[in-house]
Amino acid sequence: MTVLVTGARGRVASTLLELLAAAGIEARAGSRNPADLSPPAGTGTVHCDLTDPATFDTALKGVDSVFLYAEAAHAGTFADRARAAGVEHVVLLSSSAVLAPDAGENAVAARHLAAERALATAAASGAFEATHLQPGAFATNALAWAGPLKAGRGPDLPHPHAHSDPIHERDLAEAALAVLTEPGLRGSSHRLTGPASLDFTEQLAILAEVTGRPAPHTAVTPEEWKRSVAAFVPEPLADGLLAHWAAHDGRPAPLTDTVETLTGHPPRTFATWATDHAEAFRP
């Protein structure tokens, strides 16, 4: 089996490449900038830009399975080219946001939903099997707080008590490995969560305990937060994030046991993630 891993600079994809190499499975690391990659020994690299369909055919040549990031712009074209290349299985890193009633109107969820639908259409035609991994919040989202915490002021939070279910990137990669290598897990949607529902203040408290440094925050209005991120967060995405946080303000996130079902162990805690990444939060 040969697996194309797209977005290979990402934390989930790079961890998956390590797991595939350890399992003796041939993998190909795909990126829009393959020269910048440092994959495991014996892992090839290929130019695969999910926003540029001209790169798809070369990247997919000789590939049996794909680990795909949810880039909606050309998801249908990617599915068509994967079918033409003889790909048998595509594992999409989607999001549990697609399960929300307003998924089609929320910019955060809509791109994942569009990618899921493009793959589902191709799978329904018998082109290949499609498996959707639907995690909630990535624990790595907390890295956005690293700069403010190093500066001693902490992040600006419009909804400090918004809950999420942060999941360690290694648990996601291990779940991806499971569905790539176990035929019985193919063709389904798997909702993945971390082991606990935590609001942002609880996550900051864990970071403070693990790093031994204060982890404060500043409560701001949604409008203030939007203005502060306008230079690097498009307005539709900012609105989608604010809507998501507002919907989960004070409301614990539902949890699943899917990580343990797929990997054989409980999901890693946010404290474990914080310990693994503690240096990112220290000056």
pTM of the model: 0.95
In sequence order, the β-bridge partners of residue 218 are 156
Alpha helices of 182-221 — where are they, by DSSP H? 200-211
Q: Do domains 2-135 and 139-168+194-253+268-283 have the same CATH topology?
A: yes
pLDDT at 106: 87
Pick the CATH number of 139-168+194-253+268-283 from 3.40.50.11890, 3.40.50.460, 3.40.50.720, 1.10.3720.10: 3.40.50.720
CB 84 within 8 A of CB 23: no
Question: Which H or E run contains 155?
Answer: none
To the nearest whole percent, how much of the chain has pLDDT over 70? 100
pLDDT tens, residue by residue, 8-44: 999 999 999 999 999 999 999 999 999 999 999 999 9
pLDDT tens, residue by residue, 194-245: 999 999 999 999 999 999 999 999 999 999 999 999 999 999 999 999 999 9
Q: Report the chain's mean pLDDT, rounded to a whole number.
A: 96
- Whether the per-residue pLDDT at 280 is higher than 90: the answer is yes
The residues spanned by each domain of the chain are: 2-135, 139-168+194-253+268-283
- The three-class DSSP label of residue 144 is helix
Question: Which H or E run contains 238?
Answer: helix 235-247
Q: How far apart are CA 10 and CA 184, in angstroms?
A: 27
CB 196 within 8 A of CB 274: no
The residue with tokens 């907390």 is 142
- The three-class DSSP label of residue 71 is coil
Q: How far apart are CA 60 and CA 86, in angstroms?
A: 9
Question: What band does 72 get if pLDDT is binned at 50, 70 and 90?
Answer: confident
How many other CB atoms sit within 10 Å of the CB of residue 239?
17
pLDDT at 252: 97
Query: Hey, what are 4's tokens?
Result: 């194309």
CA distances from 119 to 13, 15, 91, 92, 264 (A): 19, 24, 9, 8, 28
- The three-class DSSP label of residue 19 is helix
Burial environment of residue 104 by CB neighbours within 10 A (0 to 12, 13 to 18, 19 or more): exposed
- The one-character DSSP state at 54 is G
Q: How far apart are CA 126 and CA 129, in angstroms?
A: 7
Closest CA to 157 of 142, 140, 136, 139: 142
Question: What band does 142 get if pLDDT is binned at 50, 70 and 90?
Answer: very high
CB 90 within 8 A of CB 65: yes
Class of domain 2-135: alpha beta
CB 32 within 8 A of CB 49: yes
